[in-house]
Amino acid sequence: MSAVEFEFDNERAIYMQLVRRLRVGIVSGELQPGSRLPSVRELAVRARINPNTAQRALSELEDEGLLYTERTNGKFVTRDEALIRREKEKLARESLERFRRELKGVGMTEEEIEKLWKER
């Protein structure tokens, strides 16, 4: 966790940015499977954000199964590597989709996009 750096854009909900940042941390391996997350208060101080925002983000990731709670020890990154892989693919697909939409927005056809991608 110590390696994770936080940067926020004040023009968007901090909560969603934190969820995304931690999700990326998990799928990229910055946050290793089974590693312990800081407490809500520690996370809030580290990222200099509101503690309830930190709590909400952790809860959301826990609901998705990416984090789990050990009653007295705090929250940990899931050891379910298949789940992490699926999550990574989902994030990658979302990025690709955004990228495709943008290119279509500037008038590129599917074929032109394919070609551009291969030539890269």
Partner 1 sequence: MDLMTCEGMKKRYGTHEVLKGVDITVRPDRIVGLLGKNGAGKSTLFKLMNDLLVPDEGRILFRGEPIGEKSKARISYLPERTYLDRDMKISGALRFFAEFYGDFSADRARELLRELELDGDMRIRKMSKGMQEKLQLILVMSREADLYLLDEPLGGVDPSTRETILDTILSNFREGASLVISTHMIAEVERILDEVVILKDGVVAVSGAADELREREMASIDEIFRRTVK
Judged by the rule CB under 8 A, the positions of this chain that interact with partner 1 are 8, 10-16, 41, 44-45, 48-53
CA angle (84 as vertex; 117, 73 as ends), nearest 5:
145
Phi, psi of 19 (to 5 degrees): -55, -45
Q: For partner 1, give the closer residue by CB, 58 or 77.
A: 58
- What is the nearest approach in angstroms of partner 1 to the Cβ of residue 12? 6
Instruction: Encode 54-75: b = buried (16+ Cβ within 10 Å), e = exposed.
Output: bbbbbebbbeeebbeeeeeeeb
Cβ closest to partner 1, residue 13 vs residue 92: 13
Closest approach of Cβ 38 to partner 1, in Å?
Answer: 12
Measured from the CB of residue 40, what is the shortest distance to partner 1 in angstroms? 9
